[in-house]
């Protein structure tokens, strides 16, 4: 993807701060991009669908990662041109000039003018302070045009699942405060559109969870069939919004900076196994591959095994320990996980280590890592990592204090059993994406 070199040098309509990360920030409405028209031999603003809302994802500068994200997005757009399952970009350009309605300096600053109301709570549960959060004033997006920041325009995706969960937590928190103190200020807070929209989305998502969950799995299946892996699935990267025209939700993946197209060229030239994405949603086999690859020629086997245990204790075990804390899911992992979680899982990790170490010694590890040759493509470690990460994301969304699901209902027992298969620590027993679609929960 070649990035257009021009930014519309007129009125800047973008500016409302939505969020930020290590990459840069997101603002809405989007900053417009221009493209060269061969017929008119002039640069004109790229037109967007007037019926849709868009945002600008502003990257601090152009680098190999940003080029990769645009390139992989181009491939995903061909798989899902209607953006049913994935939020991909509409256009991209470099920000070369400061718009005329801004100060003629090297930096353009966007600020969040909305201040959120909050309570500071004492240890005994009483309110220490009520007021507006002045820290919100510090939320801003700096654009330094001297280093060629990149403007990526994409459809607005709504809330991510983590934000939706937090919004609902806040809603119930303020509802309880109103019921306790009968203070009208809480009524005003609860009328915030953030909570009104979140309740509507939450109710629809909870009521029709099976349908929307299946859509996520179908989307992931489309990637895997085309030899693309996401590698960064988490609640923060699954967006949900209400489509007023279709009268239903849109639940879609976003952020493909970690994604890879496992074509022949990429796999044949792959030389180093590294960790990627978010460690908390990676399965044991990825840590095992990483540690063996990094240390097998310079460290002893006992060092390697202990290093693997360190990673699993820090990231993998905690997932199952957290799951056990919820009374509603005692049926999960009762054959693998008990109160002595680590002692029960350690033999499994050791078995996986022995298996994967054989692949390294026979120099067939990449066949299993990528799903090549004698290994079915959707059974590769990376493909099953996506399944594992999606299972963890669904658990994180479903398992909280305000979502109550009765496991005595046959439908929910099927759901839990499906998720159990998706997050199984043994990749040999974990579902691939096609097995997820064929699971009794959906049929």
Least confident of 31-40, 134-143, 268-277: 134-143
Strand partners, 360: none
2 membership: H or E segment, kind and range: none
pLDDT of residue 201: 94
| % pLDDT > 90, the chain | 46
Please give the pLDDT value at position 126.
Answer: 47
CA distances from 136 to 113, 140, 193, 425 (A): 8, 9, 17, 41
The confidence score (pLDDT) of residue 407 equals: 55
81 pLDDT band (50/70/90 cuts)?
A: very high
Going by pLDDT thresholds of 50, 70 and 90, the confidence category of residue 9 is very low
The predicted model scores a pTM of 0.84
CA distances from 265 to 2, 268, 269, 270, 271 (A): 21, 5, 6, 9, 12
Angle 50-53-54 (CA atoms, 0-180°, nearest 5)? 105
Cis amide bond preceding 306, omega within 30:
no
**Can you list the domains of the chain with their CATH numbers?**
6-156 (no CATH), 162-207 (no CATH), 209-442 (1.10.510.10)
**What local confidence, expressed as pLDDT, does residue 102 receive?**
41
Reported as a single tens digit per residue, the pLDDT across 306-355 is: 999 888 888 876 666 555 443 333 334 443 444 444 444 467 888 999 99
Tens digit of each residue's pLDDT (9 = 90 or more) over 241-256: 998 888 899 999 999 9
Question: pLDDT value at position 242?
Answer: 93
List all residues 6 or more positions away from 45 whose beta carbon is below 8 Å from its beta carbon: 8, 32, 33, 34
Question: What's the alpha-carbon Rg for the chain, to the nearest Å?
Answer: 24
Name residues whose C-beta falls within 8 Å of residue 376's C-beta, 6 or more positions apart in sequence: 432
Separation of alpha carbons 163 and 158, rounded Å: 10
Would you say residue 6 has pLDDT above 70? no
């Amino acid at each position: 993807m070649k990035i257009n070199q021009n930014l519309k040098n007129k009125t800047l309509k973008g500016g409302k701060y939505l969020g930020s990360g290590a990459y840069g920030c997101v603002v809405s409405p989007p900053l417009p991009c221009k493209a060269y028209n061969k017929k008119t031999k002039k640069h004109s603003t790229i037109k967007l669908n007037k019926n849709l809302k868009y945002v600008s994802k502003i990257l601090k500068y152009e680098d190999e990662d940003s080029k990769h994200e645009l390139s992989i997005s181009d491939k995903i757009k061909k798989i899902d041109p209607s953006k049913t399952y994935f939020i991909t970009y509409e256009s991209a350009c470099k920000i070369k000039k400061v718009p005329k309605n801004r100060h003629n300096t090297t930096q353009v600053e966007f600020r969040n003018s909305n201040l959120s109301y909050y309570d500071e709570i004492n240890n005994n549960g009483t309110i220490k302070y009520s007021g507006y959060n002045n820290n919100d004033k510090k939320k801003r997006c700096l654009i330094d045009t001297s280093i060629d920041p990149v403007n990526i325009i994409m459809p607005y995706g709504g809330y991510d699942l983590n934000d939706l969960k937090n919004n609902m937590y806040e809603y119930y928190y303020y509802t309880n405060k109103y019921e306790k103190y009968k203070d009208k200020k809480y009524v005003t807070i609860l009328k915030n559109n953030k909570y009104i929209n979140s309740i509507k989305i939450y109710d629809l998502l909870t009521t029709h969870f099976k349908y929307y969950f299946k859509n996520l799995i179908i989307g992931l299946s489309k990637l895997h069939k085309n030899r693309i892996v996401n590698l960064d699935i988490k609640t923060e990267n699954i967006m949900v919004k209400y489509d007023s025209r279709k009268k239903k939700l849109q639940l879609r993946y976003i952020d493909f900076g970690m994604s890879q197209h496992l074509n022949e060229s990429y796999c044949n030239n792959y030389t180093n196994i590294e960790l990627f994405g978010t460690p908390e949603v990676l399965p044991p086999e990825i840590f095992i591959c990483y540690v063996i690859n990094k240390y097998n020629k310079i460290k002893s086997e006992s060092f390697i095994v202990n290093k693997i245990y360190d990673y699993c204790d820090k990231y993998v075990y905690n997932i199952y320990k957290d799951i056990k804390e919820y009374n509603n899911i005692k049926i999960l992992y009762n054959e693998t996980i008990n109160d002595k979680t680590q002692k029960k899982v350690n033999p499994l990790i050791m078995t996986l280590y022995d298996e994967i170490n054989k692949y390294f010694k026979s120099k067939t590890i990449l066949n299993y890592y990528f799903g090549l040759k004698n290994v079915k493509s959707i059974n590769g470690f990376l493909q099953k990592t996506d399944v594992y990460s999606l299972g963890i994301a669904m658990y994180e969304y479903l398992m909280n204090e305000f979502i109550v699901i009765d496991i005595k209902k046959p439908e929910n027992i099927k759901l839990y059993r499906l998720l159990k298969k998706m997050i199984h620590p043994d990749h040999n027993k974990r579902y691939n994406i096609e097995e997820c679609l064929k699971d009794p929960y959906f049929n």
